Structure 1
């Protein structure tokens, strides 16, 4: 007779009595940066134009350095290329180059000034699926503090451009007052710090990125999206789990089983001992936005519609608030936190401010998980983070020595509307090469009107850059001119795909895991 212990992978087995079988969760080396934190007394009376001037001032030297090295002393048709200090200094027929901020003039793009001038009040911006139109009505312009000029030329069709990115262009002005672009330059990747630049590495961890770069050079298909057929096996070593779009809802339990399976997977409760040993190496969970679902369950064809509620114009309507989604999220987190530290980014649907950068979800929303947060008195910049760390969106930090930059995905979703492309990884790569993680803010992506600094400018190049709540999983590695290496990860929405991402903390290899009820 076959015993239960003889069945491979069976979890119904008697205890071995050997204390050596007990597993410990791998420790997390974690240092958050408060790059996108807003002071409590931040005013909102100022104008948004200062952000573009700040961005141009900070990125312009880098792009001009590249442009000067490429175009100075260049002759085209025996005519030397001259630098124009300002857009207004461009002269018709003269070959020159100039730097500035891109502005996309698109008829389908929302215009708040037009709404105000026509005395229309909108409680939320109109969300078009695409601002891009292929009828030739879209115009690419370049502006600086002096003025604006329209850009034309075939080269513009081969590059990704959106409002707010800083570029340098070389060409000549035509009779229509447009700049015929021959070539253009981006700032490219910012300087990249060494691993463990901010924190002290463990004694058994290498302090360089040579292993990552060596592997990238020997991998032919590194710059392509990974599929189920070519995703790597889960290897031993510490890992970071990244998930987004959990979508806890109080009215729709369509993926409640998958959420329970995800919890058991992260805790290692439903797997055999060998798999538990692998999962014990997950040292941190990062939740990248949209943990709460705002979609309401609509009555089906065989259901009677509920009674229509009277419109409440003034005051607070308590019947419109559903506390169940946040309670379910709190229970999910409180079950994880005794074993696994969690970093929580807000998303577009979460209870946080709508404008970028979104501030941390208040710990008061999580009565069961709140004891794992840092004490309010120790919430300074240099304070030790709590086991449960509610952070901003975007968020920047150092995890296992790697510089990590992540967002809830709104920046990628907004760029998607500007272009005739579905390549989300290409948009993420473009942001890195523009040195700006939210270029369309504040034009079409709601943002705080910064006056002293633009935190969306990438001062340091990250080793890992992820965006949550994307339609599908994708990853690739990009390289910079000074040896920079960046792993890009598009994290899919768990509510739609039931997928999470595991990142190896030694090689930055990425594995997609699907949680499905069979």
Structure 2
């Protein structure tokens, strides 16, 4: 913009580590059992190390097919949660046939009727005992210490998770390098917060006197999805023909292209898609097509990336997503806070355990890309519930890790962003709200 000054920023080391989330072969005629197979295979190897570290050789690791009554042992498997309130195809058919439909629900968890089952490649067994089934979700890989009862149920004494694997130690940086996380621009409603967005741009480019950006400490902007809209469009009746793209979406994309091109002249930008953005619906979401941003793509500092997104910056491993994985977890558990859901996925060592059970994903044949094999230093997600910034330091059950958890605030709701110091891992909120 006229009058803006050029600003030199810190030189940093950066590497995109999201290759695992890129889909090269779009085949949808395969079954989803393969992704569960490789999820269990990969996680079981890690869990055996964790079991040995915690219990040594005191308890035998038993496959479910060889369980014996009253023998205390450790089992490893995939959690399956049988829920009567969960939607099913048969219920959808009954609704279409104008039979008695199920009342709409936003949560399908019922602590009294839900049944938790653990299964491996040989068999499945129902779990009971020292456990809270309302906190568990289908797709989680875990190990359980307990005893097989006469009635054919496994009594759980203690659960053990891999907790996202080892974490590399951090070396202090010579400068306080800052990264900005922005989520939920909801650009179809740009008139509601356009002045705040203008103030954010001036702050980002260092044109506000006294701001901390004057010395170029901010080195990267991560846009965590839902830039076009932050909620689903109103569904019209099936009797009407609906256009594939609404005029408001097209207008919003054109306006965003101008905004991003101005930002990218000053700073490196990574743009992630969100659940309501014009890109593929299944996880992992692929980068925005370059034709959507013809002006921004001319600049080498503008990058369209995947969702989930993983990268290294100054030897700090950063991992995150736009938030639909957390919403899926919260629908089938009694977890009501996005921070608790974010913490849960890190403990379970899986970005999206509900894929493909209740959250759509690609039918992988030879891997599960969502398994977290190395514990990140920063783990973030877009905050869909109340839109406010939530952050805390996660250290694991043994206190041997240090991960900054961030539920990125919604800009359309709060006109604020999250700023993380890579040197200290401190996280603060910067507000651009104009009264």
TM normalised by structure 2 equals 0.88
Q: Verify: 1:56 aligned to 2:40, yes or no.
A: yes
Gaps spanning 5+ residues in structure 1: where?
Answer: 1-20, 75-80, 195-208, 213-235, 299-307, 373-385
Distance 1:415 1:309 in 2: 29
Cα displacement (A) at 1:73: 5.8
Partner of 1:18: none
Are 2:400 and 1:461 equivalent residues in the alignment?
A: no
Return closer, same or farther for 1:178/1:507 CA change in 2, 3 Å cut-off: same
Residue 107 (1) aligns with residue 97 (2)? no
Counting only pairs closer than 5 Å after superposition, residues 275-424 of structure 1 correspond to structure 2 as 275=211, 277-278=213-214, 280-293=216-229, 311-313=239-241, 322-372=249-299, 386-424=300-338
Match status 1:242 vs 2:158: no
Measure, in 1, the Cα distance between the counterparts of 2:319 and 2:138: 21
**Structure 2 equivalent of residue 186 of structure 1:** 161
User: In the TM superposition, what is the alpha-carbon distance from 1:276 to its structure 2 partner?
Assistant: 5.6
SS in 2 for 1:323: helix
Instruction: Specify the SS of the correspondent of 2:391.
Output: strand
Q: 1:83 aligns with which of 61, 71, 75?
A: 61
2:427 is aligned to 510
Deviations 1:450-492 (A, max 9, x none): 1111110112221111111343211122225594321111111
Aligned ranges 1:425-504 → 2 under 5 Å: 425-470=339-384, 471=386, 472-480=388-396, 481=398, 483-504=400-421
- Contact between 1:188 and 1:433, CA under 8 Å: does it hold in 2? yes
Task: Work out the CA distance in 2 between the residues paired with 1:69 and 1:281.
Answer: 41
Q: Does the residue aligned with 1:513 lie in a helix, a strand or coil?
A: strand
Q: Structure 1 pair 256/128, CA: closer, same or farther in 2 (3 Å)?
A: farther
Contact 2:117 2:127 in 1 (8 A): yes
Bigger mean CA offset, 500-509 vs 422-431: 422-431
2:110 maps to 1:133: yes
Q: Which runs of 5+ in 2 are unaligned?
A: 98-102
Q: How far 1:311 sits from its partner (Å)?
A: 4.3
Q: Sort the Cα spacing of 1:120 and 1:55 in 2 relative to 1 into closer, same or farther, 3 A.
A: farther
CA distance in 2, matches of 1:101, 1:310: 39
CA contact (8 A) 1:246 1:292 kept: yes
Q: Normalization by structure 1: what TM-score?
A: 0.74
Correspondence for 2:140: 165
Counterpart selection for 1:31 from 9, 15, 20:
15
User: What displacement does 1:319 show?
Assistant: 6.2
Q: CA RMSD for the aligned pairs? A: 3.1
Query: Structure 2: how far apart are the matches of 1:291 and 1:446?
Result: 21
Q: Is the CA contact 1:37–1:392 (under 8 Å) kept in the aligned structure 2?
A: yes
Task: Deviation per CA, 1:294-342: give whole Å up to 9, x if none.
Answer: 65999xxxxxxxxx9994449x567667411111211210111111110
Deviation at 1:368, TM superposition (A): 1.6
User: How many residues in Structure 1 have an aligned counterpart in Structure 2?
Assistant: 423
Give the conservation status (yes or no) of the 8 Å contact 1:36–1:395.
no
For residue 97 of structure 1, give the secondary structure of its aligned residue in structure 2: strand
2:100 equivalent in structure 1: none
CA, structure 1 residues 127+431, in 2 after alignment: closer, same or farther (shift >3 Å)? farther
| Contact 1:345/1:360 (<8 A) preserved | yes
CA contact 1:28–1:284 (8 Å) conserved in 2: no
Residue-by-residue CA offset, 1:20-66 (whole Å, 9 max, x unaligned): x9742334432112334434433111100111110000010221233
Within 1, Cα distance between the matches of 2:244 and 2:93?
31
CA-CA distance at 1:493 after TM superposition = 1.1
